[in-house]
Amino acid sequence: MSTAPVTVVGIGVDGWEGLGPAARQAVAAAAVVMGSDRQRRLVAGHHHADEVDLPKPLRERLTAEVDEHADRGLVVLASGDPMHYGIGRTLVELLGAERVHVVPHASSMSLACARMGWPLEDVTIVSVVGRPLEALALAVRPGRRLLVLSADSGTPGEVAALLRRLGLGDSRLSVLDDLGGPGERRVDGVAATWSAKPGSELNIVAVDVRPDQEPPRLAVVPGLPDEVYDSDGQLTKRHVRAATLATLAPAPGELLWDVGGGSGSIAIEWMRADPTCTAVTVEPHLDRVARIRRNARTLGVPGLQVVPGSAPGALVGLPPPDAVFIGGGLTQVGVVDAVLAALRPGGRLVANTVTLESEAVLVDLFRRLGGTLTRLEVSTADAVGSFAAWRPARPVTQWSWVAPDPVVTQDDP
């Protein structure tokens, strides 16, 4: 394995003309230049290096390809800023920061904000390159400005269609093609009437989000209205859901197991807490599996992993969770034991039930393991003739527990 450094040079659509002295010197001195065919054409004639295409699949083969050429003097070309949705990040993750020297270029996001007159720090950036378009649903809120890094020339039309479906047809769209290059072009329009023909594959969609109707108000904190979920009745209701997620305590980068997904509400709102939160939901009923996936797309977290099947069998092989919610299957043999064994130290386990049989399981767990046992009761005012009275929902028993850190003895190394 080579330990030689690798230089990553960011390059824009304007090619060699847009490179600074450091970038030009790195390319000119390289023995091997790696990049896509388009990127290599942008510096053709300005070096005497061997040219190598990016490997496919990229992440699986990149380390070996880099090691093959690094000792000779390798430059890897990247579009724009290599550390912004670019190959620079991948190389640092694979090789370590000490081996990667980055010569950045102005990112397409910076160029887009310059053209739009938008402060970059006030803009939400979303990439749909290799990612589901539905992830935009989490970011498009009235009054916000977005920059969408497009997958191809068809992305602007798809963005406009999504905005119309979400009741945001009055949103202003600007498609910025080939930013920084001689063929740079801008097309403006409104989502409701968008009919522009596809342009360059290299484009960014600038979106000024405006509603054409009053859309449902989807808060960033847990406890979305029950009505936003497609449900057959298997839904953790709003107030209990908010209390449950508060106890699960999602944090950036953490993974949740949602056992007995129902309508998917707990896993969906866990993922909405932060873009880096991930979740796996296990659900035995295929109609509910399809429903969870629809809800996840509608509410902006299409990356939710749904595993059809019953616990504990369906949990085998899943990555260890930072938190687990058991909303169903408490009386199923082996479910609780499998979860307790898988949970990371410091991880949170929360289980809810409305049945006496499952409540007995939670009481036993509370006596044996400790934790917190809570009764959640919610009542809402309802009409009784010309008066009003409280209508109680079924009380929910909740047990929560935090996995202890491993015990270290004097005999441990």
Query: Domain locations in the chain?
Result: 6-106, 110-208, 226-402
For residues 247 and 225, is the Cβ–Cβ distance under 8 A? no
Contacts of 114 (CB under 8 A, 6+ apart): none
Which pair of tokens denotes residue 208?
């000024």
pLDDT at 413 over 60: no
Return the pLDDT at 220: 81
Q: Which of the residue ranges 84-88, 151-155, 202-206 would you say has the lowest mean pLDDT? A: 84-88
More confident residue, 217 or 154: 154
The pTM is what? 0.84
For residues 249 and 224, is the Cβ–Cβ distance under 8 A? no
pLDDT at 406 over 80: no
- Give me the CATH topology for the region 110-208: 3.30.950
DSSP state string for 193-246: G--PPP--SSEEEEEE---SS------SSS---GGGS--SS----HHHHHHHHH
pLDDT at 323 over 90: yes
Closest CA to 341 of 367, 311, 305: 311
Return the pLDDT at 237: 95
- Give me the CATH topology for the region 6-106: Cobalt-precorrin-4 Transmethylase; domain 1 (3.40.1010)
pLDDT at 273 over 90: yes
Return the pLDDT at 217: 76
Query: 180: alpha, beta or left, given left = phi > 0 and alpha = psi -120 to 50?
Result: left
Q: Which of the residue ranges 267-276, 298-307, 403-412 would you say has the lowest mean pLDDT? A: 403-412
Indicate the pLDDT class of residue 221, thresholds 50, 70 and 90.
Answer: confident
Q: 320: cis peptide before it, omega within 30°?
A: no
Return the pLDDT at 2: 82
Return the pLDDT at 293: 97
pLDDT at 408 over 60: no
Radius of gyration of the chain (CA): 26
Encode pLDDT of 241-268 as tens digits: 999 999 999 999 999 999 999 999 999 9
Residue 294 three-state SS:
helix
Handedness of CA 145, 149, 155, 158 (dihedral sign): negative
Which pair of tokens denotes residue 320?
């260890």
Contacts of 324 (CB under 8 A, 6+ apart): 256, 257, 258, 259, 339, 342, 343, 347, 348, 349, 350
Return the pLDDT at 407: 55
- Averaged confidence pLDDT in the chain: 94
Return the pLDDT at 123: 96
Indicate the pLDDT class of residue 213, thresholds 50, 70 and 90.
Answer: confident
Closest CA to 255 of 300, 303, 218, 298: 303
Q: What would be the CATH architecture of the domain defined by 226-402? A: 3-Layer(aba) Sandwich (3.40)
Encode pLDDT of 166-208 as tens digits: 999 999 999 999 999 889 999 999 999 999 999 999 999 999 9
